[in-house]
């Protein structure tokens, strides 16, 4: 889990809650096959009335994202 602060000063937790399966090609990488993606949920700790938000992103460790990348994901994530 990671913590970020949005532009309005609210504190959000970012947590990977799942992964899409994608399709793994055994014959190398083909453009028509989707890759697995992580599902990241954002929850506002400073405003419990704010609904959680979820978005899919490239698969990997949450620690690999910069704070600005996490903020960008939060800004495009629809409310769950």
Q: Residues 7-58: pLDDT tens digits? A: 999 999 999 999 887 665 566 655 666 788 999 999 999 998 999 999 999 8
- pLDDT for 32 equals 64
Residues ≥6 apart with Cβ < 8 Å to 15? 1, 2, 40, 41, 43, 62
- pLDDT for 17 equals 94
Question: CB–CB of 23/34 below 8 Å?
Answer: yes
Interior/surface letters 38-50, b for 16+ CB within 10 angstroms, e for the rest:
bebbbbbeeeeeb
- pLDDT for 38 equals 92
What is the reported pTM?
Answer: 0.81
With a cut of 70, say whether residue 69 has pLDDT above it: yes
């Amino acid at each position: 889990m990671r913590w970020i602060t949005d532009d309005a000063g609210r504190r959000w937790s970012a947590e990977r809650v799942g992964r899409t399966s994608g399709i793994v090609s055994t014959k190398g990488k083909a453009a028509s096959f989707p890759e697995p993606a992580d599902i990241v949920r954002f929850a506002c700790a400073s405003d419990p009335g704010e609904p959680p938000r979820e978005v899919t992103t490239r698969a990997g460790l949450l620690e690999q994202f910069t704070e600005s990348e996490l903020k960008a994901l939060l800004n495009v994530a629809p409310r769950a």
